[in-house]
Chains A and B, each alone.
Chain A
Amino acid sequence: MSVIKCKDVCKIYKDSKTFALDNLSLEVEAHTVFGFLGPNGAGKTTTVKILTGLMKPSSGEAWVCGENVKRNSMALRQKIGYLGQELAMYKWMKGRELLLFVGDIFGLSRKENLKRADYLLEMSGLTQSANKKITSFSGGMKQRLGIAQALVSKPQVLFLDEPTSALDPIGRKEVLEFIQGIKNETTVFMSTHILADVERVCDDVAILNNGRLLAMESLSHLKNRYASDKCEIEFETGSSTELFETALKNQSRFNFTRNNFLFSVSLNVVEKDYAGLLNLLCALNLTAKRIEITGASLEDIFVKLIKHD
C-alpha cells in the first residue's frame, strides 16, 4: 500500500525561471525506508517541503497518508513527522522538555506524554542526557533527539531531510542505526546525497537530478538494471599494466577504468566476460597480483544516471 503518492508535481520558484521540480511522480510503500537521492540542488528539500505541506506545488497533486498535501490540513500534519536539514529546534529547552512540548502540541494527555517521552529518550539513547540543555548535546545526539521529537505522535510517515549530512562518522553511525531501528514503527522518507547511507538503510531508492526523477525502484533491482558487476585486476609492475591496457583497448567489448596498477572492468555478461579477461591474461602471459569480481555499487548507478541526464 502506498503511503506517499506524487503525480506530475512541478515547482517553479517566483525568483527563478527553471523548474525546481519537473513532473515528479513517485510512490512510496508503507513500512519501508525510502532513500531520496540526488546531488545538491536536485530538488530533494523542495519535494520534502511540498510533501509535508510547508510549500505548495506549482502544479500536480500529491497525497501523504491519503491527505492531499496542497490543503496542508491538520489531518496531514497529525500523520507525519519531520526533521529538516537545519536541525532547527528550540535549543534552549532540555531534551525531555522538548519531547513533552511536542507531545502537548499533539494533544497527548499528561500521562501518555510522559510515557512517550521516556520511551523515545530510551530508544534514542538519550535517557542520561534527558535533563540537559540541547545546546550541550553533540551533533549525533541532537539529530537523534530531532528524530525522536518527530516520532512523538507515532507518525505514519517520517520525513528526514539530509539527516546525516552534518555529522561526523560516529554521529552518522548512531543516527543510521536509529533509523534502522524505527523501520517497524513508521515509513521513513529520507532525502540525502550520501550514497553509503542509502545503501546501508534504504529498501527503495529514487534518484533525482535537476528536479527530474531518473530512477525509482528497490535498491537490488536498481543495481541489476543499471549497473553491471566489475572485475578488478591489479598488477605489480608498470610494464604489465601498460601491456594489459593496450590489449584491453583493442578489445572494444570491455569498458574499463584504470587507477595506477588497478583496472576496473565492467562485466556485462559475468561468466563470458570474466573468462575473456582470464584468456587475455593467459595470452599475454601476465601475472596479476589480484583478480576479484565486485558487485555494482550505488555510486556507479548514481554517477551513470547523473552523467546521462
Chain B
Amino acid sequence: MISYMRFIVIFKKELLEYSRSKKLVAVLLIFSFFGIVSPLTAYFLPDIMEHFTKSQNVNIDIPAPTYDDAVFQYIKNLSQMCVFILILMNMGIISGEKEKGTAVFLLVKPVKRSSFILAKFSAVFTITVTSICLSALFTAFYTFLFFDTLNIFNFIVQNLLITLYILCVMSITLMFSTIARSQILSGILTFFMWISFSIFAQFGEIGRYSPDGLISAAFTFPTTGQIFPESIVLTALIILLSIVVSLSVFEKWEPK
C-alpha cells in the first residue's frame, strides 16, 4: 500500500514535470495538429495537385478523395511524424535523470527502483494515449465534416492498433533510456531499433511478426477486416520485455 502511494507520488511528479517543461503542451498540440491536418490534406490534395499540374500543362486524373484517404493520412502521420517526436521527447526521460543526478535524489529516499521505472512508463503511456485520443477526436470530427461519413468501429480498431504500435516504440525508448548512459546514446539505439522494425516488416509474411505489421493491419483493416494477431502478440511481448529489462537493469544500476 505504501509502495503504491509512493508510486502515485512519483507518477504525479512525472506528469507535473511534463506539464512544467511545456512538453505536455507541445505533444498535445503536435498530435492535435496532425489530427486536424490529416483529413484536410486528404480532402484538399486533389485541388492542390490540380493547381500545380495545371500550371505545367499536365493533365492527371486524380480520383475524388474518400474517407479512407483521410484515415490513411492520419495513420501515416501518427506512425511516422508523431512517433519521431515522441522518441525525441522521451529518449532522455531516464538517462537524463541518471546524468543529472536526480535519480539518485529519489533513490536514496524510500522509493523502490521498480516504482521509479513503472512511474516513468505509466506517465509516458498516459500522455501518449491521451495525445492519440485527442488526435483521433480531431480526425474523426474533420473527417465527418468533410466526408460526411465515419465508420466508428473501423476507426476505433485502427486507433487501437496504432496505439499499441506507438506504446511499443515508447517502451523501447524507455528501455534504452534505462540502459544507456546518455540521452544521445539512448536516442540512437531507439531510432536504430525503430528503423529495424520497418525493414523487417518488408519481408513478406515474416514481416507480420514485426510491430510494423500493426500499421499494415491498420491500413488494410477497413477492406480486409484482418488485424494480424501475430503482430499484436509480438508487440505486446516486446512491451512486456522492455518493462522487464528496464526493471532488471535499473535494479542493478550504480551511480558513478
Judged by a CB distance under 8 angstroms, whether A38 is at the interface is no
Q: Are A74 and B255 in contact (CB under 8 A)?
A: no
- Determine chain B's interface SS by DSSP, over half rule: helix
The residues in A between 72 and 97 inclusive whose CB is less than 8 angstroms from any CB of B are 74, 77-78, 80, 82, 84, 86, 88-90, 92
Q: Are A88 and B9 in contact (CB under 8 A)?
A: no
Judged by a CB distance under 8 angstroms, whether B62 is at the interface is no
What total of A-B pairs shows CB separation below 8 Å?
58
Q: Are A106 and B109 in contact (CB under 8 A)?
A: yes
Tell me whether A107 and B255 are in contact in the complex, defined as CB-CB below 8 angstroms, given that A82-B108, A84-B105 are known contacts: no
Judged by a CB distance under 8 angstroms, whether A187 is at the interface is no
Smallest distance from the beta carbon of B106 to chain A beta carbons, Å?
A: 7
Contacts of A306 in B (CB 8 A): none
Interface hit among A49-57, A172-180, A276-284: A49-57
Give A59 to B106 CA distance when docked, in angstroms.
26
Q: Are A90 and B109 in contact (CB under 8 A)?
A: no
Contacts of B100 in A (CB 8 A): 86, 88
Of A52, A78, A92, A105, the residue contacting B106 (CB under 8 A) is A105
Q: Are B109 and A54 in contact (CB under 8 A)?
A: no
Give A193 to B13 CA distance when docked, in angstroms.
35
Of B2, B20, B101, B105, the residue contacting A92 (CB under 8 A) is B20
Judged by a CB distance under 8 angstroms, whether B110 is at the interface is yes
Residue of B nearest to A54 (CB): B255
Q: 9 smallest A-B Cβ distances: which pairs?
A: A88-B101, A86-B101, A82-B108, A77-B110, A104-B9, A74-B110, A92-B20, A88-B102, A55-B254
What 18 additional pairs, Cβ within 8 angstroms, besides A55-B254, A88-B100, A101-B9?
A53-B108, A54-B254, A54-B255, A74-B112, A77-B108, A77-B110, A78-B110, A80-B108, A84-B105, A88-B104, A90-B13, A90-B102, A92-B20, A92-B21, A102-B109, A105-B6, A105-B106, A105-B111
**28 A-B contact pairs sorted by A residue (CB < 8 Å):** A54-B108, A54-B255, A55-B254, A55-B255, A74-B112, A77-B108, A77-B111, A78-B110, A80-B108, A82-B108, A84-B105, A86-B101, A89-B105, A90-B13, A90-B17, A90-B102, A92-B17, A92-B21, A102-B109, A105-B6, A105-B9, A105-B10, A105-B106, A105-B110, A105-B111, A106-B109, A106-B110, A153-B109
